[in-house]
Amino acid sequence: MNLNDNHTLTRNDHGDTSHGAASNVFLKTGGARRRVLEALAHALAVATDEELQDWLDMSQNTERPRRVELVQLGYVEDSGARRKTRSGSNAVLWRATQLGRDAL
């Protein structure tokens, strides 16, 4: 057993349908992952990690790793735009990809 390209556990000899099902389970069983994706796909359109944390009332230690997982799955991407944080630093504005919206 290995982590597949979607960072979910599947056997090496499983076909593409098993890997796709594992990806769906990965999203469905991850309540925090799903909340981050839903915020970007439906409510916020684009947001910094800081804005997602505020909107979702989620700690940075929960939100940021979930967003990273969603980026690795191809469900969330860097929009190319930046916005200032409370500290004045520039931060990436994240957005849901079509793949991410389709996964919901």
Domain residue limits, the chain: 32-103
67-76: average pLDDT? 94
Mean pLDDT value across the chain: 82
- DSSP 8-state secondary structure symbol assigned to residue 43: I
pLDDT of residue 27: 61
Whole-prediction pTM: 0.74
Indicate the class that CATH gives domain 32-103: mainly alpha
91 versus 11: the higher-pLDDT residue is: 91
Strand partners, 91: 83
Closest CA to 5 of 69, 54, 101: 69
20 pLDDT more than 70: no
* 56 and 48 Cβ atoms separated by less than 8 Å: no
60 pLDDT more than 60: yes
Strand partners, 76: 96
